Chain A
Amino acid sequence: MSSSEMKRAKRHLETTRKMKDMLPRFFMRMFERRFSNDPLAWCMVGVPPELLKAFDLLWEWPENFGTICASRLVAPDFIKVAEGDGYSPELCTYVTNTMGYCKRWIDSGEFPEESPMPGGMGNPSMLLGSGFLCEPRYKWFQAIATRFVDVPVYSSDPLAPPWDVDPHDPRITAHYKDLLREDLHGQVEFLERHTGRKLDLGELREIMALSHKALAYWRDTLYLRQAVPCPMGSTDYFSAIIPQMYMVGEEEAVDFYREMYLEVKDRVERKVGIVEEEKYRLIWFGLPPWFNLGFFNYLESFGAVFAIESTYNVGDWFEVELDDPLEAIVERAWVRAVKMHEYGTEAMPELCNPAVFGGFVGSDMLDEAVEQYHLDGAVMHLTRSCRAVSFGEVHTRNRLAKIGVPSLIFESDMADPRLWSDAQIKTRVHAFIETLAGRNQAGK
Chain B
Amino acid sequence: MHKKSGLDRAAAIAAQPEALVMDLKRQSGRPVIGYLCCFAPPEIISAAGAIPYRITGRPGEPTAEADAYMEPYGCTYVRNVFTQGLKGRLDFMDGLVISHSCDMIQRLYGIWTYYHPLSYSRLFNVPHQVTPWAGRFFKRELDFFKESLEQFTGQAVTDERLREEIALTNRNRALIRDLYRYRLENPPLLKGSEMLSLLLAGGWLPSGDFNVLLTEALAEVKKRAPDRPARPRILVWGSLLDNIAFYQMIEEAGGDVVADDTCIGFRLFEKDIDLSGDLNEGLKDHYFVDFQCPRTDRGPGSGRFEYILERAREYNVDGIVSYIISFCDPHKFDYPDLRDYLKEAALPMLLIDDNYSFAPAGTIQTRLEAFTELLAR
Chain A interface residues toward B at CB < 8 A: 85-88, 90-92, 95, 129, 131, 134-136, 138-147, 150, 153, 155, 157, 159, 161-165, 172, 175, 178-179, 182-183, 186, 345-350, 382-384, 387-388, 390-395, 398, 411
Contacts and interface: CB of A to CB of B under 8 A. Distances in A.
B319 to A, nearest CB: 17
A395 B337 CA distance: 35
Nearest to B138: A179
Contacts of B327: 90, 387
A345 B106 CA distance: 12
Nearest to B74: A387
Contact of B302 (A85, A140, A146): A146
A183 B131 contact: yes
Contact of A398 (B69, B113, B121): B69
A382 B71 contact: yes
Contacts of A143: 300, 333, 336-337
Interface stretch (B16-24, B47-55, B122-130, B236-244): B122-130
Interface of B: 67-74, 100, 102-104, 106-107, 109-111, 113-114, 121, 123, 125, 127-129, 131-134, 136-137, 140-141, 144, 294-295, 297, 299-302, 324, 326-327, 329-330, 332-337, 339-340, 351, 353
A349 B103 contact: yes
A180 B109 CA distance: 22
Nearest to A162: B123
Contacts of A163: 110, 113-114
B73 to A, nearest CB: 5
B110 A162 contact: yes
A395 B102 contact: no
B336 A387 contact: no
Contact of B330 (A95, A139, A161, A186): A139
Given A387-B103, A391-B103, 4 more contacts: A91-B333, A347-B110, A382-B72, A387-B71
A147 B336 contact: yes
B139 to A, nearest CB: 11
Contacts of B141: 175
A194 B123 CA distance: 36
A146 B337 contact: yes
Nearest to A169: B144
A345 B110 CA distance: 8
B71 A390 contact: yes
A387 B327 CA distance: 9
Nearest to A153: B300
A387 B110 contact: no
23 contacts: A91-B329, A131-B128, A136-B333, A139-B297, A139-B329, A139-B330, A141-B300, A142-B333, A161-B125, A175-B141, A175-B144, A178-B133, A178-B137, A345-B110, A346-B114, A347-B107, A383-B73, A384-B73, A387-B104, A390-B71, A391-B107, A398-B68, A411-B73
